[in-house]
Amino acid sequence: MKKTNSFMHDFVQHLQDLGLVDTDRYPARGCNQEQITEIENKFQITLPQIYKDYLAAIGQKSGDFLRGSDFWYPELLTLREDAEILLQEDNSPFKLPDKAFVFGMHQGYQFFYFDTLAGDDPPVYHYMEGEAVKKVNDHYSEFLIDMLSDEIEVRES
């Protein structure tokens, strides 16, 4: 538990250092315990600790980080349904595992999820319309770091 809290603290500090989170222009806002519990109750899951820490730190707003995609509460409450619709419309044979949690979607044609039974820092999977599901990271913490690296690269080019 300390490891993940420390990771998220350092991660948010890095977002601030890069100017992606700023109290004036790009504020961050976390979820409260009631909102985190609402997510767990709705899907009848226990979220991994790293993700609970993410929600508590930046679960409603993450400044300018990941802007343009859906990664925040309350949209999180509908992402699994949206992902299942995408799979159905795409005639995909893939079915989300029962305890999978869809934590991100981009413009309705791709989504990210993890299995809530896979530990406190689970692997992350990605589905894009017309493609097979693939594991993109061994850990959610690595996913965040990779997404930040991608964002920095785009901003620099």
* Residue 61 to residue 73: CA distance in whole angstroms: 8
CATH number for 74? 3.40.1580.10
Is the pLDDT reported for residue 146 higher than 60?
A: yes
Q: What domain range includes position 126?
A: 2-156
Tell me what percent of the residues of the chain surpass a pLDDT of 70.
Answer: 97
Contacts of 14 (CB under 8 A, 6+ apart): 148
Partners of 101 in the β-ladder: 114
Band (157; pLDDT cuts 50, 70, 90): confident
Number of domains within the chain:
1
∠ CA 16-32-38, rounded to 5°: 130
Q: What's the chain's average pLDDT?
A: 93
Give phi and psi for 18, each to the nearest 5. -85, -5
